[in-house]
Amino acid sequence: METKIISIAGEKGGVGKTTLNIMLATNLFHLYSKKVVLMDYDDPQYSVFKKRERELNSIDENEKNDLEIYPIEKVSTSNIKNTIIQYYGKVDYIIIDFHGGLTQEMIEGLMFVEHIFIPFDHDELEIDSTYNFYLTLKSNFLENEERVLKSVHLFFNQYRKIQKNKFAVLKGQLMSVDLPFMKNVVKEKEIYRTQYRNTLFPIPDNKELGELDIKKFFKEIMELTSKEIKELEN
């Protein structure tokens, strides 16, 4: 089995990375029948691992026994390598959720990631932060043959359709300096945080099917990671 190690990650905290990593893991597993493990690299808070425990405690035993779930592992600098080895070749995706801030611990964790997806907002300060984070990854990881990083992709997060012209102009400016943008965006929706950020249940089959809805984003991630593997094999 060809395992891909991926992460939705960024230099700043509070931009929805954990929400998206949870949604990605849950929906790849349930909707697209992918074997997934989600690694919570937020030592010592481990908010994702604790969220899974709360969600399991909120359902009755019969429902719990019938429920298929993917594993969530608590990892740190001391055990991430061995935990990855434990799953590598046995799952389709290892998804790593990092805490906010480009700390030494995060840098050590990034050593294992093959594909990184960076959320990007139109806020001026976030633009600078994201651009610098991309350049750091490009120079220290992507262009370094000793690292495993194969691709970096940027995407608009908290996209607001009413401001699509502003986003389009910004995207054009950033693509002119050769930043690798994804085709799909993640819209600003409260329901992502209140309902769909769930480690047990996916987005309903009849929801999020539009051109700008998040299932398109999930599919593009699968396409991009598979494309990179095919290119390396050729």
Across 35-169, where does the E strand assignment appear?
A: 36-41, 72-74, 93-98, 115-120, 151-156
- The answer for residues whose C-beta is within 8 angstroms of residue 94's C-beta and 6 or more apart is 3, 4, 5, 6, 36, 37, 39, 84, 87, 88
Q: Is the pLDDT score of 166 beyond 50?
A: yes
Mean pLDDT, residues 171-185 taken together: 76
In terms of Cβ atoms closer than 10 Å to its own Cβ (0-12, 13-18, 19+), residue 133 is buried
Average pLDDT, the chain: 89
Pair 25, 70: CB distance under 8 Å: yes
Contact predicate 38/93, CB 8 Å: no
Q: How confident is the model at residue 168 (pLDDT cuts 50, 70, 90)?
A: low
Is pLDDT larger for residue 165 or for residue 89? Answer: 89
Residue 213 pLDDT = 94
| pLDDT of 231 higher than 60 | no
pLDDT at position 32: 97
Answer whether residue 233 shows pLDDT above 60: no
Q: Which of residues 86 and 146 earns the better pLDDT score?
A: 86
Q: State the Cα–Cα distance between residues 155 and 44, nearest whole angstrom.
A: 29
pLDDT in tens, 182-200: 999 899 899 999 999 999 9
The domains of the chain are located at: 4-233
Q: Give the model confidence (pLDDT) of 192-225 as tens digits.
A: 999 999 999 999 999 999 988 999 999 999 999 9
Say what the pLDDT of residue 232 is: 47
How high is the pLDDT of residue 234? 43
Check residue 77 and give its pLDDT: 96
* pLDDT tens by residue, 110-128: 999 999 999 987 666 677 7
- In angstroms, what is the C-alpha Rg of the chain? 17
- Could you read off the pLDDT of 40-61 as tens digits, one per residue? 999 999 999 999 999 999 999 9
Q: What is the mean pLDDT of residues 17-23?
A: 96
Q: Which CATH number fits domain 4-233: 3.30.70.380, 3.30.565.10, 3.30.2320.80, 3.40.50.300?
A: 3.40.50.300
